[in-house]
């Protein structure tokens, strides 16, 4: 039985991985450049005030981190398909490490969402 999900050529997998890298690069650049201005090191009150003043920008940053996770998941799958003919076990291990990284990033993102909810109720 053929599995169409992983039965693509290595060239197609490389192209999909490239698009995943591009999506991740654009999203992380946006999240870092615009979201970094909201955070003030060692001053939680100023950070909270910045987030409340620019709540829309903070939420766009959260959505951009979601795109980072999506791009990472696409890359994990595509790179697994690309490297599977070389060494299936190692390709699977690398894909799992990328997915674990995405899960950890997802937990951090949930904390940002909770912070946003808490600060929106503080008005």
- Write the pLDDT tens digit of every residue in 50-105: 888 887 888 888 899 999 999 999 999 999 999 999 999 999 999 999 999 999 99
Give the residue with greater pLDDT, 1 vs 91. Answer: 91
Give the residue with greater pLDDT, 8 vs 66. Answer: 66
Among 5-9, 23-27, 59-63, the least confident range: 5-9
88 domain-assigned: yes
Q: Which domain holds residue 26?
A: 10-120
111 domain-assigned: yes
Cβ partners under 8 Å of residue 60, min gap 6: 30, 34
Whole-prediction pTM value? Answer: 0.82
95 domain-assigned: yes
Average pLDDT, the chain: 87
The length of the chain is: 123
1 domain-assigned: no
Total domains in the chain come to 1
How does residue 6 score in pLDDT terms, banded at 50, 70 and 90? low
Beta strands, E only, 1-123: none
Backbone phi and psi for residue 43, each to the nearest 5 degrees, phi listed first:
-145, 90
The 10 Å Cβ neighbour count of residue 41 is 7
């Amino acid at each position: 039985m053929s599995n169409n999900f992983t039965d693509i050529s290595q060239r197609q997998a490389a192209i999909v991985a490239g698009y995943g890298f591009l999506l991740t690069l654009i999203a992380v650049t946006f999240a870092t450049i615009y979201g970094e201005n909201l955070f003030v090191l060692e001053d939680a009150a100023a950070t909270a005030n910045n987030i409340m003043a620019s709540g829309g920008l903070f939420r766009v940053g959260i959505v951009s981190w979601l795109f980072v996770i999506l791009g990472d998941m696409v890359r994990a799958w595509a790179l697994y398909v690309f490297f599977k003919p070389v060494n299936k076990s190692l390709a699977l291990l690398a894909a799992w490490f990328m997915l674990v990284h995405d899960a950890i990033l997802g937990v951090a993102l949930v904390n940002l969402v909770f912070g946003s909810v808490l600060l929106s109720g503080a008005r």
